[in-house]
Structure 1
Amino acid sequence: MYSKLSNSASILPSTTTTTTASSSTISSSSAAAARKYQHRIQHILLKLKQHFIKRYKLITFIILIIFIIFNSIIETHIQISFYNRKQLTQLLPPHPPNLSRKCFTEEFISNPFKSNQNSFPSSPAYNLTLGSLSLHPKVLTLSPGFNLPHHEDCYRFANTIPLKPTPNMILSVTPTYYHLYWRSDLAPISDRQIITLKSLLATQDFSKSKSPNKNGYHQLNSQIILWTNPSTRSLENDQLLAPLLYRFKDRLSLKIIDLNSLSKSTPLENHHLLNTIFDKKAWLDGDLIRILLLWHYGGFWIDMDNLILRDLKVLTEHEWVVQWDCYDKPYEPLNGHIIHFQKQSPYLCEMMSIIVPDPFEIDHFSSSNSKSKQDDWDAQVLVKLNGLFSIHLHNQWHKQFPKNGWVYRLYINHWNQIID
């Protein structure tokens, strides 16, 4: 009995070994199958990737060919602007200011001399029957009446305006004033500002008027006035400006701004804005001063970041504010770096009437900048420049004109020859 049990016990390990071997064989087969399946999946994915890459390259090539053909046939104009929604409420208030109902009255315009000259808005200087605002038809039309979407249209339209006033234009017999403003407490006078003054001295008509004034003196047809704030009287002795002031003292003068005097008999008289208007960038005071100066003197306001290329006297039949560029901005169509108004114009009257209850503020969001219109130098650029009246440099005071650049070659060297 003992031996049978021993034999049975000796058989059991053999059976266990056989079972383990079979399990190992099955596990190896499963692992091999899994690896084969994984390899097949990777192979399929690789094939799909290669297929999509080939198709992607083909689609990209087709799109590129279509774009080249489309661009050779079609001219595309795209201009994108971004506007701060909060700032739009200032540009387009829900309740826009009403007109004063007095600036364009018949008493103000048709019979100005019947009004009390010391009361606003009576304006004996703004007379429709005399001077440049005659009721006679205008010779020139400065606005085509529709937008100019093509980038060549503006240049072609500017070239239709003659270089000088024509004999049949009815222009003012008084001198044309060109007002500029600079604060040396913010930045000293540099070559950039001197070049702006030279561009005016070289391009405007400074001949003597044909009709003498009440003193029998034949005045110059143009006068340039550089205005500055009271804290910058040192401009008189500025090493760059003083030679021009001395040499061209009959046509270029330096004057100090007196807001209290300029605002007398206007809605802005004794306004609190007059004492707080001088900001750190001369934006607020510059906006107010241009309105007051044109109200008292008439003529042109020109920002100091302009280069004047042509005689502006040909544009004095109309009152106008320059726009940003040829594209119509949906919210800010006007720029105002060059403005022309007659003395005591009702348009200026309306501006001051609006400022009193709602003083303007600085728009810190730079949403309007015509620097988006940039042209590479080519043979057509010179043709385009021939019709332009000015080049607006959009501040950028720290940038100087390259001595061998086109601005020097086409303009500054020529102005220096005339001035010097």
Structure 2
Amino acid sequence: MVWFLSSSNNSNNNKYMPFHSVWSRRNKRGLINIIRWLVITILFILFSFLVICRLELNARLYIRQWITPSRPVQKEPLSSTCFGNLTHDTSKPPKTYTYNFVPGIPVWEEYTCYDYASLLQPLPLSSSPVMTTFHTTWSSQNSEQLTSAHLATFQSFCATQPLNSSQLILWIHPDDEDKLKTDPLWKKARNDKVRYQVYTENLTVGTPLEQQTTSTIMSDLELVKLAVLYHHGGIWFDLNTLFVRDMTPLLGHEWIAQGNCQSSMSGNPFDNTGLMHFYSKSSSICELLSGSTKPFNNNKNKIANAIFSPGSTIKARGTRGPELYQRIYHNLLRNGVKPWSTLPWCFTNPSQCKSSNSLPSPFVQANFSPLRLRQIFAFHFSSPPRKQQAPSGSIYRYLEQYQQW
């Protein structure tokens, strides 16, 4: 061991000290200073990074491969009722259309989606226009009566859709008919283009639901939606939607709207969708109805379902909503059938992307670009204002004045 002579005037016992002890004492303060400046430097770099760059996290949670090992994809047979003969077009003769509304470049970057949407404009009025029916539903279980936001939906429809080729039907449960008739806001909304209709078990006639011994259509709005589109065709939209301009350019395809721009890269593109368009007696809608009655044997998620959804009964009745749409979409592809199109996110869900290219909610006070708003077709909002609050917001007020409700 190396010893160091101390210059201290202490007793003889402290005259000699180990060298490493002296070094530690003399450099302890220097080490603390180094750590202090290192922390300051890291904080400065982090602060500069956040000032210069915008951080957007789109995190997704996935179960580990060893928990849910992948298995070969199973191809489900198509319904013989909907696709009895696949040697020809199983739906209808090919539809003539003018626009292809699926751009060949990514639509989540900058304002690509909006600029592409602006290219789709209505054609000159035809001497014999085809009637397009818009469908939606209202239930007193969701709100005791219609709200001002619902009234704005009806008013925006009347202000934007062609008078001679469009109509709106509000589908309601028989128990809600009296409430709707006496609702003061419904009295303001109804006119020659807007009416209501009561749905019954008759909607199952001629559909795959007719073969079920116990129909649940009266208590399942998802089945009501699909059955209505199968019988009548047209556009189904959630009631929390504001129409911005004429939807005619989108009628050349069957489609379901994309819920958000992130699903262009991964995930279910039909999550949070609020609008869809299908023709009457569509084979795709028929297959969706058939798929809603069949439990989906997805073995690869057996362990995950047992962990996260113990006791779940959804498989016993078949899938619903976005899960059903994605399942049938991929199954049509596996069976060599062209499925419906996916409407790009900004056409109807312009608030569901990055903060740099999304529009704010219609019911908040925020800056927005009127140009970008006029490029979209509709605004599907996920959280309508409370019943007791009068609708307000920058986009809401702009549409109110621009469309002269």
Q: Distance in 2 between matches of 1:388 and 1:240?
A: 27
Query: 2:152 aligned with 1:154, yes or no?
Result: no
Alignment of 1:6-405 (within 5 A): 30=13, 41=24, 44-62=27-45, 71=53, 79-82=58-61, 95=74, 97-100=76-79, 103-104=82-83, 127-128=92-93, 133-134=94-95, 136=96, 138-162=97-121, 164-166=122-124, 173-188=129-144, 189-207=146-164, 221-233=165-177, 234-245=179-190, 248=191, 250-258=192-200, 260-269=201-210, 271=212, 274-275=215-216, 278=219, 285-327=220-262, 328=264, 330-335=266-271, 336-358=273-295, 359-361=318-320, 371=352, 373-374=354-355, 375=358, 381-398=369-386, 405=393
Look up the equivalent residue of 2:285 and give its one-letter code: L
- The CA distance in 2 between the partners of 1:291 and 1:180, in whole Å, is 11
Identity of aligned residues (%): 24
Larger Rg: 1
User: How far did residue 64 of structure 1 move?
Assistant: 5.4
Q: 1:172 deviation in Å?
A: 8.4
Instruction: Report if aligned partners of 1:109, 1:127 keep a CA contact under 8 Å in 2.
Output: no
Q: For 2:47 and 2:193, locate their aligned partners in 1 and report how far apart those are by CA, in whole Å.
A: 60
How far 1:58 moved relative to its partner?
Answer: 3.3
TM-score (norm 2): 0.69
Question: What displacement does 1:84 show?
Answer: 6.8
1:173 Cα offset (Å): 4.5
Note the alpha carbon deviations across 1:276-312, whole angstroms, 9 max, x for none: 762xxxxxx2321111001010000000111111111
- Tell whether the 8 Å contact from 1:183 to 1:228 is kept in structure 2 after alignment: yes
CA distance, structure 2, for counterparts of residue 257 and residue 371 of structure 1: 32
Question: How many residues are paired up?
Answer: 335
Find the aligned partners of 1:44 and 1:237 in 2 and give their Cα distance.
85
Unaligned runs of 5+ in 2: 1-9, 296-317, 324-344, 361-365
Q: Give the CA RMSD over aligned residues.
A: 4.0
Opposite residue 148 of structure 1, the aligned amino acid is V
Pick the structure with more helix per residue.
Answer: 1
Q: Residue type of the partner of 2:240?
A: D
CA distance in 1, matches of 2:151, 2:48: 51
What do the CA deviations read for 1:356-395 (whole angstroms, capped 9, x no partner)?
222225799xxx9964544477987222111111112113
Does the C-alpha gap of structure 1 residues 261 and 150 become closer, same or farther in structure 2, counting only changes over 3 Å? Answer: same
**Structure-2 separation of matches of 1:363 and 1:352:** 13
Q: Describe the SS at the equivalent of 2:215.
A: helix
Q: How far apart are the structure 1 equivalents of 2:372 and 2:104?
A: 21
Q: In the TM superposition, what whole-angstrom CA distance separates every residue of 1:384-415 from its partner, at most 9, and x where no partner exists?
A: 11111111211345388876631233102344
TM-score between the two structures when normalised by the length of structure 1: 0.67
Structure 1 residues 139 and 37: CA distance shift in structure 2, 3 A: closer
User: In 2, distance between residues paired with 1:402 and 1:81?
Assistant: 36
Instruction: Indicate the SS of the match to 2:274.
Output: strand
- State the distance in 1 between where 2:391 and 2:209 align: 45
